[in-house]
Structure 1
């Protein structure tokens, strides 16, 4: 058994070393840009440390075949199987070297790692060779060949040793069979935590090139292929000629003129965005919810503007982040946050504000690795990001992370020291299952989702305490607070998942920077939280045109519609009309459409998803 264990360990160590070598090549090749980004030597070296977990996971995937070959040899020795492992490793070395050498070529132009879309272009190598600079093309071939040579040499010289026939001891082989497959599985998913590992685990730097260097190229490409293999062949939601669908969407989004209602006393306020985990409109009394669930939110309504007709386009937190920070609605099948190669193509609210001199920060009590949110948030250029690991053990942790009262207090204290004007986002946690908030249940109602409702009561209580404190700070008078859900959640009303009522969410602007005549009012305009970027930027008199899908809800001439997505379908809402349609099943789950407008409204909704998904594919 010792020989088998040593063989597996040697395989593992080889891959860790080889990944580090190719990473070093990437850094050296792009060192000019790294210097331009003023990345310190210590931060460059940290790249190798932050890469380890993804390298470890990728190595576990690569070890699956060798493990079973070695195990078989321990039971029934066949000498030629040694060559199988050797050839298998050589093939992976060649493929991985090809991937990393290709990344050297595409990064200067695309600023991404190799992804599925780029892989599709590589299916026409002659076209690439003709369009590429000859010197660069042959240099990359040379680098790839050198990497292959180094990899094969190191593996053959220092890591691979033929297994020799030994006495078969059945219980040793049985132990290995029982122990190693689970260990490889755990290693491949990055541990036993609830959320499997993804590219976010390697993000650590404000210089995106260092984050990309830290991300394992093989792991990144696998995720990209897995997410897009079917979807890049053809838009799965194409119902109409692309030009017809595009014209329909342009008509839907068309705003005849800018007559923005200016609600702020200043165009340069501090901005605090509090993202409320899974808050449904059914939690808010003013939006039709039961009284007593969120009494503090109810009190705050008198100090601002409540948007009372919003529908969440997505159903997951990563989709909510894309809505709020990029103005990009959620859609079926996938999410743009899990595709790092698309980040440079989409607009960023954070970067827009940074150009205006805002300092920026983001606070979350959990693990941002979920849905690759960390990678997305870092790509937005936040100056400061704090998550669970930054809070230590002096605060109460639940199963998913630090509870809301402690995160809100951390942000409060940090904002007292922040450079103004600031844009600070905070993502709450405690209203996410398993709802283990550190407060006894206060609402003993015999209703469905009782625990969810009590978790919202807790977060609401924390918000009340937070606002009582921050109102005493000198920066409060020049601060706009925005409260918005990331997405909705099932409630005691038991709305069907495919109905518009299920997806209704709250959003509110509050603060002393809101003109007195607008405090305690409502905005009845139908829309979604992906409309936040345009709505906010127009109040600051900034250009919102890059946010194609985001509309200005405080412009009376702005069009109104509601959109939501699910699995492989679309929900579409107009005044007194709606439908939800599943593309895969060719089935309407919900429909309330006047006969005279039925066809045109169905065309609107289907065109919207078709063009939105086409944009996602194009990025």
Structure 2
């Protein structure tokens, strides 16, 4: 039964992804043969509760007539859970184009938001009813076999021998089977289909933090830091740390500092290709398209990851992504060198403003312990909310909150406000009547509603006394989708950024390759700030041509983009090189210099966090 449900799940996901799967003979053979192996591995784990029960229940109870109803109940519950898992995996694949992974583990932690999101996105009642009926019908078809097992008289010592062998088998699987062994193909969809969703969930839970030194390719530590020092040296930077493992630099800008307010809007799941500036013809960002003509538009910017917490990490700490969990979610993430602290040292008040409850994804704790005051959903009165879903209030209500915070604080000192939106997220719901796409229709509607909300915010802000002294920075936390035929499809990390300050920033286009971790230093450079930095990011206006690079990642794979090259570092000391041609990526001859650069950035960033050098 366990293997059969897993097989049918694989077939359904294969059909759903048929346009993206490479249907070669080797891929199909590997997909089903390796998949069958992982289905058996998963079955070995799933059957543990049943095996333990059958081992421990005494014969005098097992042989009772009423006991078969206990077995009916056990098999019904097991069947329901397996079918529910299969349906859940189908919807998870629809959202992320992968089996259960690190994201699913996170979702199990935040059950209130996730269950609420599922209830608002899908007809959960009908789904549960259908699964329940199917489960009961299945168990009814097996009732004679279950009833017949009641006459089994296997003694305890005989059962113990069987359980002993079973325990050895499970132990061998635990120690020798990993979720890396099904990644045999160059097609990422094939690799995902060859896995087993429930097993992947278990594996992700076991590996939610990855030690760089243990799992990734390294170079000598002194060589790595020396190389990073060389890569970080720019015309405006002077190293001031005698510690060879430190990256403290004095950033010097000539002239008067501009103590402008800074409003940084990180937009949930906002891919560059949503905007007309990047070729979109759906007209779903009319305001941002018009604002782009009046702003400094960054056209070659890449997000560091695929989750909000990874984007928040890049925007606040300006460090490359480290393997495993985002620093926002890790222990010992207090008192880090952050963008908020730099602004505070310049006499600003730094705020993190969020439309949901800040406990989600550890946001309140992280920002509250790293130089920001946190303002979240709890600061909004119920009567001031036009609409909310499980993720938070509608974006227009979030911006109304942000306006009040700016009004309150900017009269006394300059403000740095980091605003995180939520509306562009499944179930894609928002107040009716704002745009021409009904709520709960699709992502395009959610994107257009967020665009509407930003339009309303900028127009309201223009009436405020602080508007002419404010730098508005609009950027994405990550893209709407990171799925592609390769493990790290570069185009799925492409995000837009607009810097709008009509009294201070001339409209234009910045077309150089840029990482999300460069946004903070670039903003500080535009304000002409001098400060001591521990950031790994560049001020793009001070960086010599040819030194551009970007970082992209999943929780396991670490990508380094330089020119038309992509280096991917993965667990088991794996290093791959690709040539990038637009949306296409092909295996390329390794360039050791670029590989060493990639290793040095990631190795030193991981070391710095682990050893307190980011504090």
TM-score, normalised via structure 1 length = 0.58
Q: In the alignment, which residue of structure 2 is the partner of 1:284?
A: 275
Deviation readout 1:166-202 (Å, 9 max, x if unpaired): xxx99xx99xx999xx9xxxxx957644289xxxxxx
Q: In the alignment, which residue of structure 1 is the partner of 2:368?
A: 378
Partners in 2 of 1:291 and 1:189 — Cα distance? Answer: 36
Partners in 1 of 2:222 and 2:441 — Cα distance? Answer: 48
Question: Is it true that 1:436 corresponds to 2:429 in the alignment?
Answer: yes
Alignment of 1:201-600 (within 5 A): 231=211, 234-257=213-236, 267-290=258-281, 292-344=283-335, 346-387=336-377, 390-392=380-382, 394-418=385-409, 419-439=412-432, 451-490=442-481, 496=486, 498-514=488-504, 518-557=505-544, 559-584=547-572, 586=574, 588=576, 590-592=578-580, 598-600=591-593
Partners in 2 of 1:525 and 1:489 — Cα distance? Answer: 23
Shift of 1:604: 2.1
Partners in 1 of 2:447 and 2:326 — Cα distance? Answer: 26
8 Å CA contact 2:113–2:391 kept in 1: the answer is no
Deviation readout 1:138-169 (Å, 9 max, x if unpaired): xxxxxxxxxxxxxxxxxxxxxxxxxxxxxxx9
Partners in 1 of 2:587 and 2:349 — Cα distance? Answer: 50
Partners in 2 of 1:481 and 1:501 — Cα distance? Answer: 26
CA RMSD, Structure 1 to Structure 2 (Å): 4.6
Count of residue pairs brought into register by the alignment: 422
SS in structure 2 at match of 1:557: coil
Partners in 2 of 1:279 and 1:261 — Cα distance? Answer: 33
Partners in 1 of 2:256 and 2:369 — Cα distance? Answer: 31
CA distance 1:584–1:291, change in 2 (3 Å) = farther
Shift of 1:391: 4.2
CA distance 1:398–1:595, change in 2 (3 Å) = closer
The unaligned stretches of length 5 or more in structure 1 are 1-70, 77-168, 183-187, 197-224
Shift of 1:373: 1.6
8 Å CA contact 2:266–2:475 kept in 1: the answer is yes
8 Å CA contact 1:487–1:503 kept in 2: the answer is yes
Q: In the alignment, which residue of structure 1 is the partner of 2:96?
A: none
SS in structure 1 at match of 2:332: helix
CA distance 1:411–1:193, change in 2 (3 Å) = closer
CA distance 1:302–1:284, change in 2 (3 Å) = same
Deviates more, 1:346-355 or 1:261-270: 261-270
Partners in 2 of 1:397 and 1:248 — Cα distance? Answer: 49
Deviation readout 1:565-600 (Å, 9 max, x if unpaired): 123222221223334343448363843499787232
SS in structure 1 at match of 2:553: strand
Partners in 1 of 2:513 and 2:315 — Cα distance? Answer: 16
Partners in 2 of 1:406 and 1:490 — Cα distance? Answer: 26
Shift of 1:503: 0.5
SS in structure 2 at match of 1:551: coil
Partners in 2 of 1:599 and 1:331 — Cα distance? Answer: 21
8 Å CA contact 1:311–1:505 kept in 2: the answer is yes
Alignment of 1:152-163 (within 5 A): none
Deviation readout 1:188-219 (Å, 9 max, x if unpaired): 957644289xxxxxxxxxxxxxxxxxxxxxxx
8 Å CA contact 2:110–2:360 kept in 1: the answer is no
